[in-house]
Amino acid sequence: MIESILRYEFLQNAFAAGLIIGVIAPLLGVFIVVRRLSLIADALSHVTLAGIAGSLYLSQSISALGLLNPLYLGITASVTGSLFIERLRRLYKHYEELAIPIIMSAGLGFGAIFISLAEGFSSDLFSYLFGSVSAVSRQDLWIVVIIACIVVVFLSFFFKELFVLSFDEEYAKASGLPAKWVHVLFMIVTALVIAGSMRIVGILLVSSLITLPVAAAMRIAKSFKQAIFFSIVFGELAVIVGLASAFYLDLAPGGTIVVVSIIILLLTIYLKKWMKRGVPA
């Protein structure tokens, strides 16, 4: 496996991008899960699907756009969707959860239209839906690196604000924290991570990498920082084992990564029950 990675550039791209995503997706996932916004990842992934399908359709219709990386329009759609979710959450103050199915429905609707209009990109679309080891280009890798830098900078500046918002939003607003703008920026960063992760995990499965490692970590973590640490460890483990399995078994990496994440979650659930019964580990 190591020889293959050293020999083939597409494997270097896939594993490098996967290792980065294995950190930033669960890292943001902790805040998403604690704030009970898990379904937002699903909504934005479907909006991203619309952007990707639209980009593939435009590349067929307009020859000048043939070389345009579909990730760009996918990222644009994802960020736009995140802003609309935030706008709808403020519009429906007493029914904020309505924003998520509205945007998800819009993403699915536009995605279905673009897919039905276009012809001949089923194989390209499949790699975006479920991930692909061979489809990750060097340009895709650089996009993931830039997104990771944005995540790190954002969390470096707003970690305390996000922590307070996650556990007591009313106190955060009363204490004078710029809750509105921090939340908007958080949504944008989340959209970027979702769009950047789809080459590896796939549009339909990216939310799993955001939530499953966090769900496993919360079973054994005793503090918020421990939850972040274990989430990243489980995310990296799922990505490494998942990508290796996908390479050797010729499977979609999104599926293998999710299955490994589920196995980790089941093991942590069993470990927690075992510890409660007083059986030495």
Lookup result for tokens 């791209």: 13
pLDDT of residue 281: 45
Q: What is the phi/psi pair of residue 134, to 5°?
A: -85, -15
Q: Which tokens sit at 269?
A: 């659930």
Write the DSSP assignment of 136-171 as a string of letters.
Answer: --HHHHHHHHHHHHHHHHHHHHHHHHHHHHHH-HHH
CA distance 228 to 243: 22
pLDDT of residue 155: 92
CA distance 172 to 95: 21
pLDDT of residue 30: 92
Name the pTM for this structure: 0.85
Q: What is the phi/psi pair of residue 183, to 5°?
A: -65, -40
Taking CA atoms, 125 is separated from 6, 46, 57, 101, in Å, by 28, 13, 11, 23
Q: Do residues 144 and 20 touch, judged by C-beta distance below 8 A?
A: yes
| 270 exposure class (CB count in 10 Å sphere: 0-12, 13-18, 19+) | exposed
Q: What is the pLDDT along the chain (281 residues), one digit of tens a residue?
A: 566 655 767 778 888 888 999 999 999 999 998 888 888 888 888 898 888 888 888 877 777 666 677 888 888 999 999 899 888 888 887 777 788 889 999 998 998 888 888 765 555 677 777 777 777 888 888 989 999 999 999 999 988 888 888 777 777 677 777 778 888 899 899 999 988 888 788 777 888 889 999 999 998 888 889 999 999 999 999 999 998 888 888 888 888 999 999 999 999 988 877 766 655 54
